[in-house]
Amino acid sequence: MNDVTRGDNRPDLSAFWMPFTANRQFKATPRLLASASGMYYRDIDGAQVMDGTSGLWCVNAGHGRQEIADAVARQLMTLDYAPNFQMGHPIAFEFAGELAKVAPQGMDRIFFTGSGSESVDTALKIALAYHRARGDSARTRLIGREKGYHGVGFGGISVGGLVNNRRAFVTLPGVDHLPHTLDQTRNAFSRGLPAHGAELADDLERLVGLHGAETIAAVIVEPVAGSAGVLPPPVGYLERLRAICDRHGILLIFDEVITGFGRLGTPFAAHYFGVNPDIMTTAKGLTNASVPMGAVFVKRGVYDAFMQGPENAMELFHGYTYSGHPAACAAGLATLDIYQREGLLTRVASLAKTWEDAVHGLRGKPHVIDIRNLGLMAAVELEPRADAPGARGYEVLNRALAAGLMVRTTGDTIALSPPLIISEAEIGRLFEMLGGVLDAVA
């Protein structure tokens, strides 16, 4: 029997336990999307909804790309699945080679996963195993950052710094955290990179002094923290972090699951900041979200450290059934072709000023206490209601959807990250709709 039905086109909502959702609240008043094309969804009633979030930061080339669907269909009818444990298939090698061409310099060894969470756990394992392979097995400590989000694997929640993702679960031992970089006292309403806070990277020196550099394997950060509410790094922060890691032999991991594939107007955030990590995690835009997939980019020197000893010995005891899945690789190759043919890996550079001016045009709207932006990412932070934190943000989510705009909210922070195909006119329309919603929210 249906728990929630509102007409013939409503499905039974009872069986699906939804992720990161207040299930009872949602099922009482569901928001159901039925189709998508280009910049827009249509809901189950046929109403058009502008996608202000690229789905979940992932549909970079827009929805319904025929080239991707055709590539996946061809691959499924050619080779639907083949294992990559002690076997192989050509398309995985082809896709890895094409990714290496757009990677930051020297990061040309690719390990495929099934998601961003798997990419993070893979990167952490590679970091630990790298030091062990070099005879430095005392380096077992991992350093994350407060307000960081690195997926939902046990490794990811351990180095992550979002309390609600951690508090109900056991986390890994030997993990510490850098302070977050959000400083609304000095940096509120920054345009682009905030001016203050580079010195926060120096806390890594404190952790080196506390634990000993010889115990620390890796530091993992998002170049721009996404799920915490779009937190661009202060000017010089990532450069400082890179220098400290180099000084102490610590691997630096960039989590580019959100920032990868054109979000900042460069192929990766590493290009944007001119700071190369040792390991880089990706997913989301890798296949335009059409087929689940992730990829970990590794510096050749890190990879080569494993390629020692007997040639018949496995160098890394790690992998997934779906690592390098043929259909996912086909989707990824088609996606990468679209990115390159349409210039989407760099297009945002020409839109960034229009985007920045538009989002900061919301300053002065009711309850807006901060605005942050970089590339084609932005956050509008609202003052919480005294008696109900998060309620104002949730009202914005619902009012925006009713107005024809999908946004993402984290508490009282509105996050925006539309597909990279958005036009200047659509940017104007997006913020016109959002501005009207903010005017109406008490």
Angle, CA of 196, 200 and 203, to the nearest 5°? 165
Topology of domain 68-341 in CATH is Aspartate Aminotransferase; domain 2 (3.40.640)
For 211-215, the CB contacts below 8 A with 24+ separation are 211/141, 211/176, 213/248, 213/249, 213/250, 214/136, 214/138, 214/139, 215/138, 215/139, 215/140, 215/141
Helix (H, G, I), strand (E, B) or coil at 332: helix
Q: Average pLDDT of each block of 10 consecutive residues along the chain (442 residues)?
A: 49 96 96 98 97 98 98 98 97 98 98 98 98 97 98 98 95 97 98 98 98 98 97 98 98 98 98 98 98 98 96 96 98 98 98 98 98 98 96 98 97 98 98 98 94
**Parallel, antiparallel or unpaired: strands 141-145 and 109-113:** unpaired
Q: Sign (positive/negative) of CA torsion 213, 119, 221, 227?
A: negative
Q: Which CATH class is domain 31-60+346-440?
A: alpha beta
Task: Give the burial string for 206-227 (b: 16+ CB within 10 Å, else e).
Answer: ebbeeeebeebbbbbbbbbbbb
Question: How many CB atoms are located within 10 Å of the residue 424 CB?
Answer: 12
- Encoded tokens for 436: 């009207």
- pLDDT in the model for residue 1: 27
Q: Report the C-alpha gap between 70 and 65 in whole angstroms.
A: 9
* Domain boundaries defined on the chain: 31-60+346-440, 68-341
Full-prediction pTM beyond 0.95? yes
- pLDDT in the model for residue 8: 58
- pLDDT in the model for residue 198: 98
Give, rounded to a whole angstrom, the gap between the first and last alpha carbons of the chain. 38
